Amino acid sequence: MIKHLVFLRYASDTGQDVKDAIIRDLGALQGEIDGILAFGHGPNLSPEVPVVHGFLDMFWFDFKEISARDAYLENETHKAIGSRINAAAEGGIAGVFVCDIQV
């Protein structure tokens, strides 16, 4: 299984409605892409503020295998959501951190 973790540092003027719409649309990808086992999201609750670097929101996908993750990366709906994320993140893509691990 591949766990795809995405940490977000939204721009200070990004409204909750924008954040909620992004999460809603990401969750809907479960019905569009084969091999997504789970989707989750939540706030970063770490008390280690200096090392959080402002990444206060996150979401994750669990993929059955690497090929499912790769299908997600190439999916046009995902790419459109990614563009919206970059537009809402502080500094664009600099406000996004991605980490994939095999579990």
CATH number of the domain enclosing 89: 3.30.70.100
> Distance between CA 46 and CA 56 in Å, rounded?
9
Domain count, the chain: 1
57 found inside a domain: no
pLDDT string in tens for the chain (103-residue length) = 999 999 999 999 999 999 999 999 999 999 999 999 999 999 999 999 999 999 999 999 999 999 999 999 999 999 999 999 999 999 999 999 999 999 9
| Domain limits for position 73 | 2-45+66-102
53 found inside a domain: no
Confidence (pLDDT) at 95: 98
Residue 18 near residue 88, CB atoms below 8 Å: yes
96 found inside a domain: yes
* pLDDT tens digits, 76-99: 999 999 999 999 999 999 999 999
| Total-model pTM | 0.95
